């Protein structure tokens, strides 16, 4: 009985048109989705997935209508630009290109082309590269960025004063992001990149910048010890030690894994104790670094508020 039922289903499957979805096969054979999936897989019936069916029906509906742009296809199908372009090419749909007036989403009519690109971009809320391309298309000459030669702004003056007091002390403890986080004006919402660029232009006048260490990073380990022992001492994964060995051109340990004879080798035991002492020393140094850094950040933030207020008051 079972073989007869399967034979009828196989015959009915062969009579179906090609490239149906599994849902359509299930409806045609009056079976469930799982049964239809087993049948098409067993009898090598090539189905069409739901995405292909969707796009086929989608472009079939657009066949008798005016061509759409890629952006309009994206909005109708709720897909990305890459997907819309790929599917339009796959089904041979010729999209409509935007006119130059449609492509320009910014009002260039009131732009003063005697100003530098950065000022125009800030005025229109676009990128400087968009202004550059528009300037080239109009044949306008490029204008160099104006160099500020007048008195310092309150923000710049406050940064100079703060750097004169803390630059040497903070060198090697704070990075540019820490400085940028401190040197901010609560009344002016600036991007972190803007503040960081301002700090990078000031600090070289006072100290040669040294990048701070990472207190949580594992220092160079003694690769003569086994990976398991190093992983236990430094509380890291054994695979991390393995990657470090690979970086050091496959530096091999004296003993592999947990070979018992390693604990009878006085030279190996000495290296093991020295590595444990280095671990303790590293923890102590990292703790001192973090404590000093937190104290310095608190002092600098407190001093920054005073310097910024004085700089604004001096400018009036």
Q: What is the pLDDT along the chain (316 residues), one digit of tens a residue?
A: 467 777 777 787 777 777 677 777 777 777 887 787 787 777 777 776 677 777 878 888 887 778 888 888 888 888 888 888 888 888 888 887 655 554 567 788 888 888 888 788 878 877 778 888 888 888 888 877 655 454 568 888 888 889 888 888 888 888 888 998 999 888 887 788 888 888 888 888 888 878 887 777 777 788 888 888 888 888 888 888 878 777 776 567 776 666 666 777 788 888 888 888 888 888 888 888 888 889 999 999 999 999 999 988 887 6
Q: What is the DSSP string of 14-83?
A: HHSPSS--HHHHHHHHT--HHHHHHHHHHTT-----HHHHHHHHHHHHTTTS----HHHHHHHHT--HHH
Residue 35 is part of which domain span?
A: 2-90
Residue 306 lies in a domain: yes
Q: Is residue 98 part of a domain?
A: no
64, two tokens: 């008798």
Whether 81 maps to a domain, the answer reads yes
Please provide the distance, in angstroms rounded to a whole number, between the alpha carbons at the two ends of the chain.
Answer: 98
Instruction: Assess whether 126 and 167 both reside in one domain.
Output: no
In a shared domain, residues 227 and 310: yes
Residue 110 included in any domain: yes
Inter-residue contact 303 to 169 (CB < 8 Å):
no
Number of compact structural domains in the chain: 3
In-domain check, residue 200? yes
Kindly state whether residue 198 falls inside one of the protein's structural domains: yes
The reported pTM is 0.45
Same domain, 130 and 217: no
CB-based burial label for 208 (10 Å; 0-12, 13-18, 19+): exposed
Q: Are residues 198 and 71 in the same domain?
A: no
């Amino acid at each position: 009985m079972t073989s007869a039922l399967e034979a009828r289903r196989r015959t009915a499957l062969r009579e179906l048109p090609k490239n149906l979805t599994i849902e359509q096969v299930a409806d045609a054979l009056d079976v469930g989705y799982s049964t239809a999936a087993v049948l098409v897989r067993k009898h090598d019936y090539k189905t069409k997935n739901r995405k292909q069916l969707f796009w086929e029906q989608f472009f079939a509906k657009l066949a008798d209508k005016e061509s759409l742009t890629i952006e309009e296809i994206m909005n109708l199908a709720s897909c990305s630009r890459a997907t819309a372009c790929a599917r339009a090419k796959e089904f041979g749909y010729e999209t409509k290109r935007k006119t130059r007036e449609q492509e320009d989403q910014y009002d260039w009519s009131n732009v003063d082309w005697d100003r530098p690109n950065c000022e125009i971009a800030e005025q229109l809320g676009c990128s400087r590269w968009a202004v550059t391309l528009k300037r080239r298309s109009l044949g306008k000459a490029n204008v160099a960025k104006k160099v500020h030669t007048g008195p310092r702004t309150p923000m710049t003056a406050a940064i100079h004063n703060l750097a004169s007091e803390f630059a040497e002390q903070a060198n090697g403890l704070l990075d540019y992001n820490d400085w940028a986080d401190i040197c901010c004006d609560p009344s002016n919402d600036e991007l972190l990149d803007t503040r960081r660029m301002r700090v990078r232009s000031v600090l070289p006048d006072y100290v040669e910048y040294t990048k701070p260490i990472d207190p949580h990073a594992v220092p160079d380990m003694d690769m003569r010890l086994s990976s398991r022992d190093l992983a236990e001492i430094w509380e890291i994964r054994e695979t991390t030690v393995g990657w470090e060995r690979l970086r050091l051109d496959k530096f091999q340990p004296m003993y592999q894994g947990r070979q018992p004879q390693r604990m009878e080798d006085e030279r190996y035991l000495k290296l093991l104790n020295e590595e444990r002492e280095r671990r303790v020393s590293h923890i102590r140094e990292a703790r001192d670094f973090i404590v000093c850094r937190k104290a310095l950040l608190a002092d600098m933030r407190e001093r920054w508020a005073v310097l910024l207020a004085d700089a604004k008051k001096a400018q009036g």
